[in-house]
Structure 1
Amino acid sequence: MKYQHRIGATTYSFPDLKCVLAKATPERSGDKLAGLAAENNKERLAARHVLADTPLSQFLDELIIPYELDAVTRLAVDQLDEAALAEVRSLTVGEFRDWLLAAETDGATILRVSPGLLPEMVAAVSKLMSNQDLILAASKIRVVSQFRNTLGLKGHFSTRLQPNHPTDDPKGILASTIDGLLYGVGDAVIGINPASDDPRATRTLLEMLDELRTRFNIPTQTCVLAHVTTTIDLMEAGAPVDLIFQSIGGTEATNDSFGVTLELLDQAYQAGLQLDRGTVGRNCMYFETGQGSSHSANAHHGVDQQTCEVRAYAVARKYRPLLVNSVVGFIGPEYLYDGKQILRAGLEDHFCGKLMGLPMGCDVCYTNHAQVDQDDMDNLLSLLALAGCNFVMGVPGADDVMLHYQSTSYHDQLYLRQLLGLKHAPEFEQWLQGMNVIDDQGQILEETPRHRLMYL
């Protein structure tokens, strides 16, 4: 297939589909550094014209990373549902965009097609979409997951309580956790990024969170975001593990850089299912991703960073996770330079994850050397809520004192609930009402009886 388009007197030619995808991508500092980006807006426009006219079936005929070279490619191709693809297989990428946005195409229809989509098809259609398109299409799709509560229902919005501490001090973490619960944060998960991967420290934190959860019958799940090998060992040793966490990437080489293989994830997933600690469901995996991880590991095979990101979602969907979280601005300005690039990436990741059938959340975040501020993050937070995002982070003061980046605070979710009338996960909301943290309308009570949680 020839990939070329004429604008004025200039004909733009692209050697292969991988190049078309890269050149069609909205501006990214990471793709510029990798030498993959369009040279100017005219070349980007030409690539988008070519992409719009490319049949979805071409992505099966021309794999952008060869099947024999990459485990993620093999996984994506092998798990493809041909019957699901049949409904849209004859469409071009541009026609697929129109189909997604059509009023008669609802979320259930989109999810019926989802198992038949390669990640490159999903990345491709997102590159043709405006921010408005990404919000509208994503808002149609509700991906519900369950462990001890039910996440992702329409009209509901959840938060991860993230009480990180620079030395993993249990008392400091516990204080932040209680504070977050009293703001109604934590129905997605109470999740700690440990400062080290020491198994003893990790087990101490797991046992502390489990004691808190069981003492107050909190209908949520806990997680210490240690490496998956540490978590497997702790499960075998009898530690109270709810969710199994791992950062993942969109190529085999990226996952190698994380010390992860698909076989290792298979092992962890089966171990989590055997523990069977959920009460309303068995979605026991938690994955985090982020645009730029394959580039930073020099493991991108010449594929643009956004397409690499969507390929990571092919890994995640195999394991039916409870949570998938794009940590959108964490890697830094080398990959997403400013607020505009971070905002666009957050909307892309959320839409693409949902289209791949994943329960997507977003860490609305940035590093302090990026050209971005909290107003930019307020914008992204608001747009993600309109798009139906499953969850965001709740960090004390929006400033993570261990990871050294800026995120969203305990207060930010209150703004969204008041603005859009969003509820917590149903089981968690009932618990908050029973603890007199919120009223029957879901609003935080001014005189919360804090002694119920403070005397531990």
Structure 2
Amino acid sequence: MGYRATLGGETFRFDTLARLMAAATPARSGDALAGLAAQTDVERVAAQTALADLPVATFLSEALVPYEVCEVTRLILDTHDHKAFGTVAHMTVGQFRDWLLSDAATTRALQALAPGLTPEMVAAVSKLMRNRDLIAVARKIRVTSAFRNSLGLPGRVGSRLQPNHPADDLKGIAASTLDGLVYGVGDAVIGINPATDNIPTATELLRMLEDLRCRYDIPTQTCVLTHVTNTIAMIEQGAPVDLVFQSVAGTQAANDGFGVSLAMLHEARDAALSLGRGTVGQNVMYLETGQGSALSADAHHGVDQQTLEARAYAVCRAVEPLLVNTVVGFIGPEYLFDGKEIIRAGLEDHFCGKLLGLPMGCDVCYTNHAEADQNDMDVLMTLMAGAGVHFLIAVPGADDIMLNYQSLSFHDIAYLRNSFGLRAAPEFEDWLERFGLITESGHLIDGATGAQRLLGAS
């Protein structure tokens, strides 16, 4: 069939829909590495022109990854809500963009539309948007989730407290956790990436977090980010599991590389739900994604990395998660080369996830060999806060000493809340007030005083 557009007297042809989507994508190193990127800016604009004229409904009849070989494609097409899709079914991708930016696309309208959208549709429209457009639309979307507290409410931004330790030392992790709590971090989750990924270590870490949470009566949830099969085994052994974690991707082949399937995720969700540990909600899944994961596993089927990232959100949506986050700069400069590409990818991922109805967060991060620095992260976290992000991740000093990458600090979460009037989850905020860690106006007290009050309460 093919697609084409004429620009400046030159005609550009794109043999397949996947090729058109890749060529229309804003420049990034991963697509260039895969040989999928537009060769010139002119070709990219031509592809965007052709994509703008494409009917949105095309994505229901032309699969980018074959239906027969990929359970993610089957999930996307078999669960599509045609009734919800009716609002935009007659539109081209360009018209869909214009509608999203119009006053007609209200919060309520966007919530109703979400089940009718496929990941490929939202990826396509994002390729026609400037960064400000991604922010403007995402800000209108409201997605809430709950377990021991309520996340995603207006005027609030959640945070994951990530107290990783290179030796899984319990005292070191506890010290980092208390430090984060003093800064008001941890309402989304207190989550540890274990240095040693096995069931005994994960169980020990989980029991320590449970003891700390119960000792201080903290209305939050804890998680050890081990493989989903380990978490299922821990549940069977009676461990105090709040959330089930798993990294997921946008193709079956990439998920095979993670050792996970859709059936396995549903089994884990059912196991966690059987514990009934939630108090204000029962969203029990925590899922992480990231552009480039399918390409790094040679499981991308010739599809650009941003579209495959959006397809991962279909996997997430199927299990009604509490939290989803893109670890935006973690894989490295081979996939997102510099600060500009990382910022763009973070805004794209957040927009696409929220448009699909997900509680979308972000690990605003980069590796030390990328052409990025903490100023780039300052920009992205500020833009994310403006776009209404569900939660952000913070580590001591913005430097994860176990995973060896740069993220946000506890102070960064305080900056966002103090500068923009954003607040923690209401149940967690009440806890901060009860322990005297914030003032009546919602601002943090000084760290030394907060630490004394928290430790004195134990």
- Tell me which interval the TM-score lies in, with the shorter structure as reference length: over 0.9
Establish whether residue 157 from structure 1 lines up as the match of residue 137 from structure 2: no
C-alpha contact (below 8 Å) 1:257/1:297 kept by paired residues = yes
Aligned-partner residue type, residue 453 of structure 1:
L
Distance 1:117 1:10 in 2: 33
Distance 1:410 1:67 in 2: 44
Q: Which moved more, 1:266-275 or 1:237-246?
A: 266-275
Following superposition of structure 1 onto structure 2, how do residues 426-441 of structure 1 map, counting pairs within 5 Å? 426-441=426-441
C-alpha contact (below 8 Å) 2:435/2:454 kept by paired residues = no
Unpaired segments ≥5 residues, structure 1: none
1:39 aligns with: 39
Instruction: Give SS of 1:26's match.
Output: coil
The two structures, once aligned, show a CA RMSD in angstroms of 1.0
Distance 2:167 2:221 in 1: 23
Instruction: Give SS of 2:410's match.
Output: coil
Instruction: Give SS of 2:39's match.
Output: coil
2:227 aligns with: 227
Distance 2:203 2:7 in 1: 61
1:189 aligns with: 189
By how many angstroms is 1:414 displaced? 1.1
CA deviations on 1:199-239 (whole Å, 9 max, x unpaired) are 11111110010111111110000000000010000000000
Establish whether residue 15 from structure 1 lines up as the match of residue 15 from structure 2: yes
Distance 1:120 1:450 in 2: 47
Following superposition of structure 1 onto structure 2, how do residues 20-419 of structure 1 map, counting pairs within 5 Å? 20-419=20-419
C-alpha contact (below 8 Å) 2:179/2:451 kept by paired residues = no
1:450 aligns with: 451
By how many angstroms is 1:78 displaced? 1.1
By how many angstroms is 1:450 displaced? 2.8
- 1:340 to 1:449, Cα distance in 2 relative to 1, 3 A: closer
Aligned-partner residue type, residue 448 of structure 1:
T
Instruction: Give SS of 1:4's match.
Output: strand
C-alpha contact (below 8 Å) 1:436/1:448 kept by paired residues = no
Distance 2:403 2:32 in 1: 26
Distance 1:365 1:451 in 2: 31
Distance 1:111 1:28 in 2: 30
Distance 2:233 2:244 in 1: 12
CA deviations on 1:135-178 (whole Å, 9 max, x unpaired) are 00000001000000000011001100000000100110000000
Distance 2:319 2:441 in 1: 35
CA deviations on 1:378-414 (whole Å, 9 max, x unpaired) are 0001000000001111100000000000000000011
By how many angstroms is 1:9 displaced? 2.6
Distance 2:425 2:87 in 1: 33
Instruction: Give SS of 1:89's match.
Output: coil
C-alpha contact (below 8 Å) 1:346/1:380 kept by paired residues = yes
By how many angstroms is 1:449 displaced? 4.8
Instruction: Give SS of 1:138's match.
Output: helix
Unpaired segments ≥5 residues, structure 2: none
Instruction: Give SS of 2:80's match.
Output: coil
C-alpha contact (below 8 Å) 1:248/1:255 kept by paired residues = yes
C-alpha contact (below 8 Å) 1:363/1:392 kept by paired residues = yes
Aligned-partner residue type, residue 391 of structure 1:
F
Aligned-partner residue type, residue 45 of structure 2:
L
C-alpha contact (below 8 Å) 2:163/2:192 kept by paired residues = yes
Distance 2:424 2:51 in 1: 40
By how many angstroms is 1:2 displaced? 4.2
CA deviations on 1:335-364 (whole Å, 9 max, x unpaired) are 000000000000000000000100000000
CA deviations on 1:82-128 (whole Å, 9 max, x unpaired) are 11001111100000001111023112101101101111001000000
Q: Which moved more, 1:437-446 or 1:424-433?
A: 437-446
By how many angstroms is 1:196 displaced? 1.2
TM-score normalised according to structure 1 size: 0.99
Distance 2:60 2:198 in 1: 43
Distance 1:9 1:356 in 2: 38
TM-score normalised according to structure 2 size: 0.98
C-alpha contact (below 8 Å) 1:21/1:51 kept by paired residues = yes
Aligned-partner residue type, residue 6 of structure 1:
T
Instruction: Give SS of 2:344's match.
Output: helix
Distance 1:448 1:96 in 2: 52
By how many angstroms is 1:452 displaced? 4.5
